[in-house]
Chain A
Amino acid sequence: MEAIKEYFKLAIKNLKTRRLRSWLTILGIVVGIFLVITLISLSGGIKNTILKQLNALGGDIIFVMPGAIDNPLTTFMGGQMLSEEDIQTVKKTKGVEVALPMSQKSQLMRYNNEQKTIFLTGFPWDEGKDFLSNFQGWNLSEGTWPSPGKRELLLGSLVAEKDFFSKRIKVGDTVTVNGKSFKVVGILNSIGNKGDDTSVYLDREVFQQITGDREGGALAIMVKAEEGVSPDELAARIKSELDEVRKRRRGEDVSDFSVLTSEKMGSIAGGVLGVIQAAVMLFAAISILVGGLGIMNTMFTSVRERTKEIGVLKAIGAKNSAVISIFLIESGILGLIGGAGGVIFGLIVAKLIEGYSRASGAFLLEAYMPASLIIFGLFFSFLIGCLSGYLPARKAAKLRPTEALRSYE
């Protein structure tokens, strides 16, 4: 132990005499670890946020959406809708407690001689009020819920704010949507994502009247199972009922819709995030590898420069293990300092991005930074340092003292 302490002192002196080169090598590791920490912290944060939102939906909510799930984008891009018959079929399926169809269209809204685009979203309020407040966690910051059948609007939190229209909208104000005037009766607290917070909500019947969407298509149906009914079983039942409708009506046997439990949605989201995380880790690993090569390069150069010194050390009684230790400690220190720098920068940048996301309100992102991530960063960089220092250290240890002493300074 005493010896190791001395080797440490020697190693630190060696690094200090090559100060600039040591710092440049450390910088290489800082960049690599910085990338890893930032990316892990942010992708972990995104994952947590998404899982949290899915959890907020409640574990036993079932979503029925148009379009097959193997191409989820068609749901929102393709303009496919679920028909009124689909909605009725879902409602009548055994085990369904509530089925809440949702319609959505982007519309122009006028207020105070300004015009802005908003998402107009229609829910049947008689059933929707309880569903949304109990299972989706919606709550009002002021006003009341719209009454069914009346021209009353509920605003997402961002729509009401001053930044959206130049004047803040208050409960009781009148706004114009698609040429029809509405009374604002309530304003929601933030739901947590920009899409929902820039929506304007109203009764679905009124929605159909003013958009002329009398066919009554729904963009999605949210289903709550009855007490004691398993969501998975109910999802399967809804799927077979809807398949029946398609066969009877159109003679089709292709499922152009998806029935998903929130658990399933979670696993799909988790899978996508997993792939992103893996890709991110791959790039980070490459940058760490480059940092490691930097350490190796520095240490090899160092061995060559110090050949004579190594000869002296061996002549005065340094065993091979002592020479290896000194060089490994040096490269380990390079790795560790680089790792510490990388962890610090990484966490700072992750926090900055978190702060930016809060301020912009575009998305809610909490940087994920548990102690294990910091420990992992430090340990990993130390390991990289030692690994990349091993070959140079072994080369140094294998030098024959006479040959080393003969080399020119």
Chain B
Amino acid sequence: MEKSIIRLQDVWKTYQMGKVEVPAVRGISLEIFPGTFVSIMGPSGSGKSTLLNMIGCLDFPSKGKIFLDGQDTSILSESQLAQARGQKIGFIFQQFNLLQHLTALENVMLPMVFQGQEEEQRKARARYLLDLVGLGDRVDHLPSELSGGQRQRVAIARAFANKPQLVIADEPTGNLDSHSGQKIMDILVQFHKEQKGTIVVVTHDSIIANYSQKIFHIIDGQIVQNHKQSEQTIWKQ
């Protein structure tokens, strides 16, 4: 059997809200294989972002285990986890989350700094990626000098900086108009094809979902069905 990039095994996540414990994720098991494009869908408050954070190893489960590239993450130290995350996982956020006082180029170079890469190497890779997302002429602009769509393209370039095995995107088009959103999706799809990467997207967007090879539907912290693309229409009603 093919080795999964990320595997969740009966994962629970409970938040403490005052005195009440609120379970956000309730016993989810799933596996994501290399080269797949996966969507996670569900209404707000369903726990999909929490699930995504755990897939991205940003958060620890309250119960259950997460295996990143076959490695049990619960036994890693915080620093080891940060290192693994920086190396193997790229993040794209709804809010872009670029560093405001760094230029586009510097933002894309940053993940490579934490992996200890040489400056020349970093610069070359960052320029290449910014070219790919169509911002080759904007490398020295600050985020505040870029449009929302352009910022998200910088964020995508940053996510791919360390050639991650897994790229995670939390509603990447949620803050963009439909035209920019379309462009972002085109780029993601293009990356998926060209870099042979694995992409996990949380989205409300049916177009993205349509492109996905696999969709997880989350309601009340549980996976309801493993829809194949063909079954998607039923869900949409």
Contacts and interface: CB of A to CB of B under 8 A. Distances in A.
B147 interface: no
A317 B119 CA distance: 17
A401 interface: yes
B85 interface: yes
Given A318-B86, A401-B58, A6 B101 contact: no
A308 B97 contact: yes
Given A312-B97, A316-B158, A317-B87, A322 B114 contact: yes
A6 B100 CA distance: 16
Contact of A316 (B95, B111, B119): B111
Nearest to B117: A2
Contacts of B47: none
A13 B101 contact: yes
Nearest to B110: A316
A319 B81 CA distance: 8
A316 B156 CA distance: 12
A17 B100 CA distance: 9
Interface in A5-46: 6, 10, 13-14, 16-17
A245 interface: no
Interface string B107-139: 000110111111100000000000000000000
A400 B113 contact: no
B59 A317 contact: no
Contacts of A401: 58-59
B142 to A, nearest CB: 10
Contacts of B56: 315
Interface in A303-325: 308-309, 311-322
Contacts of A317: 82-83, 85-87, 111, 114-115, 162
Contacts, number: 72
A357 interface: no
B99 interface: yes
Contacts of B82: 314, 317-320
B115 A315 contact: no
A402 interface: yes
A307 to B, nearest CB: 12
Interface in A145-172: none
A281 B155 CA distance: 52
Interface string B85-101: 11100110101011111
A405 B93 contact: yes
B102 A315 contact: no
A309 B79 contact: no
B116 A2 contact: yes
20 contacts: A2-B117, A3-B114, A6-B113, A17-B101, A311-B97, A315-B91, A316-B91, A316-B114, A317-B83, A317-B86, A317-B87, A317-B114, A317-B162, A318-B114, A319-B78, A319-B82, A320-B82, A401-B59, A405-B93, A409-B95
Interface of A: 2-3, 6, 10, 13-14, 16-17, 308-309, 311-322, 400-402, 405, 409
